[in-house]
Structure formats: structure tokens, C-alpha cells
Structure 1
Amino acid sequence: MITLTRTDSSNPDFMALVKLLDAYLAEKDGQAHEYYNQFNTIDMLKNVVVGYENDIPVTCGAIKEFDSDTMEVKRMFTKPEFRGNGLASGVLSELEDWAAELGYEKCILETGKRQVEAVALYKKKGYATIPNYAQYIGIENSVCFEKVLK
């Protein structure tokens, strides 16, 4: 059974999962990883969710304010051996609920086109493709999404 915990980016389990995420993305993104990595710092993230299976951290995600009515989803990751079990969907739902509780109207995010599992997850969870925003404008490998929260 998965237990989801709301925390912040100082959580050591979150930091350990992010190291695994960064290694995964470095492999997937190749030379483009350095460009993306500059936008993925985790210091000062106030809204982090870590998922535990039998007290072992296996999945995570975060949100950070993009503007006064929008949270940006960041640092979504599930250990490979735990994928395909709905864990990322659970983390994403928890992040969306948290954003709504804080009064935000929508969530946005960016992922790489090579992260086909991530693209499929966001579409399945009701995210619509939007034009690339901010630092992702003109970046061919990026795909951006938005979801209006209820």
C-alpha cells in the first residue's frame, strides 16, 4: 500500500528520488539535459509529495507557484521497478488537490517528448497540450500541458 506524504524539498527521501530522476533524465535527454537541468532546482520547493511503499520512498512530485492562479508541476518521478501501478497518477492527484486547496485555478507543466510515459500520463489525467511557455518557447523537445482544477 502506498502512503503519500506532503512535505517540502528539504525532505531527504525527496532529495534521493530527485537524484535518481536527474540520472534518468540525463540519459533520456542527452546533451539537452544541461539546458533543462537549470530549471529544475529543488531548493525552496514548499509543496512536495513523496510516496512510500512499506516505508520505502518510491515516487514523488512537486508544485511551485508559476503565477497568482497557476501552479507548475515539477520533479515527477517513480522508481522504474514501481512504474505501471498508478503511483504517479496518485502523486499528481495529490498535487492537484493541494494546489486547489491553496486557491490555485490550474496546473501547468513541461515534459520532454522523449518521456512518452509521462506524456501519456498527463493526457490520461486530463491535461491539454498548450503552447510552450516561458523558458520552453522554441525548445523542440519540450511539450507543455495545462489542466484547469475543479
Structure 2
Amino acid sequence: MAAQSGKDMLLKLDRTGSGDFLTVAGLRTRAIAFNAASIDVTDAESAGRWRELLAGGGIKRAAVSGAGIFKDRESDAEIRALFFAGAIRDWQLILPGFGTISGPFQIVALEFSGDHAGEVVFELALESAGELGFAV
């Protein structure tokens, strides 16, 4: 895969559940992290006393984060409303040259900050709330 521009990595929100995705505007940074918990099944008879793990047994999760500036009143309002409602919605993270990760997420953190000589910025964090899909 050739190098890709970070500005082409998009975070989109399905605001109604109908597949009508709205791009979260103003994001300067975006990231996704996948994690899977392991289940240790080591016992007294494990070969050489090496740890053994149960294949496919752990809980999988994904965390999405982003930070940016206010650019679009519509997406800003949607994000605030979803956070305060604790709602779970479908989201898409488009990774250029790789594919699209999609599924249910909940906004678990929403932060605002500003410097006296700078702009107001926001940060958000999402946690997966169900099975995620991947499409090329």
C-alpha cells in the first residue's frame, strides 16, 4: 500500500440509522485501536510450563479517537446530543487505501479546550458497542 494522506481518513456518523452518514467535520486527527483480551488456559500439564491461550476466546473491542476544531454546526450538534443521551449509533471510519470499518459505537468522552490566543478545540472518544464490519 502506498502512503496515504491523513486528511483522507474520515469519521462518519449514521445519525438516523438509515445509512445517511454525516462526516464529522473539523477533525485534525483520527485514530483507531483494536484490542482483544486473552484467556489464559495454562494448567499444571502445560508443555514446558509455557502459557497457553484459548484461541478466539477473548473479548474484542475497538476504540476511535479524534480531535479538531468546530467547522460544521450540524455535526457538532449531533455529537453533543449523542454524548449527553448516551446513545449508540453506527459509525464508519474510512481508511484510504485500506477499507472502511463500520459498526455501533458510543461516544464515551467529549472534551473541549481553548488557549487564550488560539481556537477552541474538541476531542472525542468512541468505544465499540457490538460487532464491527470491514469492507474494502
In proportion to residue count, which structure has more helix?
Answer: 1
Answer whether TM exceeds 0.5 for this pair: no
Between the two structures, name the one with larger relative contact order (CA 8 Å, sep ≥ 6).
2
- The alignment's TM-score, normalised by the length of structure 1, stands at 0.26
In proportion to residue count, which structure has more strand?
Answer: 2
